[in-house]
Amino acid sequence: MKVIALRFEYEEYYIEVPEDIYNNIKKIRKEFDKWLYDKNNDHGYWVKVNGVKKGVSYDESAFIDFINERYIKKGDARVRIIEKDEIPDSCDITTELF
């Protein structure tokens, strides 16, 4: 497993992911953004005004759920948040900005 730091404006979360997710995180992030902002998707992250989809409001769990639902096979270890002190000293960390 590898570690990715998810950085939001005021928050940072560390997620433990399989190596193939780690190696393809830029591609997966683009797919997530495309899915998230596609008005044909009726996910729970839409901000609606008078019933019209105007924007999205989401946190780290939306990205984690997206990865787990689309990329993790049943029975495999799921992507999860870990605490900073759980990261081994020898671990490479890549960062993804939101």
Instruction: Please give the model's pTM, rounded to 2 decimal places.
Output: 0.88
Q: Where exactly are the structural domains of the chain?
A: 2-97
CA distances to 31, 40, 80 from 13, rounded to whole Å, are: 20, 29, 10
The continuous run of DSSP H or E covering 61 comes out as: helix 60-71
State how far the Cα of 88 lies from the Cα of 82, in Å rounded to an integer.
Answer: 11
State how far the Cα of 76 lies from the Cα of 46, in Å rounded to an integer.
Answer: 30
- Which residue pairs from 4-8 have beta carbons closer than 8 angstroms and sit at least 24 positions apart in sequence? 4/93, 4/94, 4/95, 4/96, 5/93, 5/94, 5/95, 5/96, 6/60, 6/63, 6/95, 6/96, 6/98, 7/95, 7/96, 7/97, 7/98, 8/59, 8/60, 8/98
pLDDT digits (tens, 9 = 90+) for 59-92: 999 999 999 999 999 999 999 999 989 998 888 8
pLDDT digits (tens, 9 = 90+) for 18-58: 999 999 999 999 999 999 999 999 999 999 999 999 999 99
